[in-house]
Amino acid sequence: MIKGKTLFISGGTRGIGKAIVYAFAKEGCNVAFTYASSADAANDIIADVESKYGIKARAYKLNILEPETYKEVYELFDQDFDRLDFFISNAIISGRAVVGGFGPFMRLKPKGLNNIYTATVDAFVVGAQEAAKRMEKVGGGSIISMSSTGNLVYTPNYAGHGTNKAAVEAMVRYAAAELGEKGIRVNAVSGGPIDTDALRAFPNYEEVKSEVVSRSPLSRMGEAEDLTGACLFLCSSASSWMTGQTVVIDGGTTFQ
| Torsional class of 170: left (φ above 0), alpha (ψ -120 to 50), beta (otherwise) | alpha
Crossing angle for the helix pair 39-53 and 15-26, to the nearest 10 degrees: 20
Among the listed residues 158, 174, 182, 205, the single catalytic one is 158
Give backbone dihedrals phi and psi of 181, rounded to 5 degrees, phi first: -65, -15
Among the listed residues 165, 174, 182, 205, the single catalytic one is 165
Rounded CA separation 190/106 (Å): 26
Rounded CA separation 251/47 (Å): 33
Whether residue 165 lies in the annotated active site: yes
- Name the nearest CA neighbour of 116 among 128, 130, 99, 137: 99
Count the Cβ atoms, other than its own, within 10 Å of residue 223.
14
Q: Tell me if 40 sits within 8 A of 59, measured CB to CB.
A: no
Q: Tell me if 82 sits within 8 A of 76, measured CB to CB.
A: no
Residues labelled as active-site residues: 158, 165
